Amino acid sequence: MRMEAGEAAPPPGPGGRAGGGWGKWVRLNVGGTVFLTTRQTLCREQKSFLSRLCQGEELQSDRDETGAYLIDRDPTYFGPILNFLRHGKLVLDKDMAEEGVLEEAEFYNIGPLIRIIKDRMEEKDYTVTQVPPKHVYRVLQCQEEELTQMVSTMSDGWRFEQLVNIGSSYNYGGEDQAEFLCVVSKELYSAPHGLSSESSRKTKAQAGEQ
């Protein structure tokens, strides 16, 4: 729940004040905008700034006249952070910069959110910097009797492009054998740092397993 500063505060809950006491509800004044949430939501990430704040650790956070904790950060990016603590998903408006949310997630020390945002940004960087594929061609010379087997056993991304009868028949084993030129091609995708896209993904996957 988001409240503009100056709106009426909810009545105190059992066991403490609504504005930052030891009740269920906690008010946060982030850069002049007041957010209302539960202590359970804020404590979801135990090592975060917000968890330590609502557990009463000495973080030198003042309170405003309503009792809300004062946090001198940009409220624009606090909404997605609070929603992530509520339901575990990162939901951003299309015009919101991921870099801004990452900056705040690092300030509040919310590890899972930091990793999600960095993965998104890396994926976008990969998409932007990936160059168009190169087409590599090979010309293979084969006899007529070898043609079917060669085309059917092509693998590793190679595909048949063109067959050219070079018209030079010769006698082999009592039978005339025609020769062909078989043109095959393969697409090679280049990624940053000179790696192919397949090699880059394998390297990243292996790094994650270590």
**Would you call 53 helix, strand, or coil by DSSP?**
helix
pLDDT in tens, 163-194: 888 876 555 555 667 788 888 888 876 655 54
HEC letters along 92-117 = CCCCCCHHHHHHHHHHHCCHHHHHHH
Contact of 80 with 86, CB cutoff 8 Å: no
Query: pLDDT tens, position by position, for the chain (210 residues)?
Result: 554 433 444 444 433 344 444 468 999 999 999 999 999 999 999 899 999 887 766 566 788 999 899 999 999 999 999 999 999 999 998 889 999 999 999 999 999 999 999 998 888 877 655 667 777 888 888 777 777 777 777 777 788 888 888 876 555 555 667 788 888 888 876 655 544 444 444 445 454 455
Structure tokens at 81: 């952070």
Rama region for 106: left / alpha / beta (φ>0; ψ in -120 to 50; rest): alpha
Distance, in Å, from the CA atom of 190 to the CA atom of 16, rounded to the nearest integer, reads: 60
Tell me which residue of 139, 147, 138 sits closest to 177, measured CA to CA.
147
Distance, in Å, from the CA atom of 23 to the CA atom of 17, rounded to the nearest integer, reads: 6
Contact of 35 with 78, CB cutoff 8 Å: yes
Distance, in Å, from the CA atom of 44 to the CA atom of 50, rounded to the nearest integer, reads: 9
Distance, in Å, from the CA atom of 188 to the CA atom of 199, rounded to the nearest integer, reads: 11
**137 DSSP β-pair partners:** 185
**71 DSSP β-pair partners:** 30
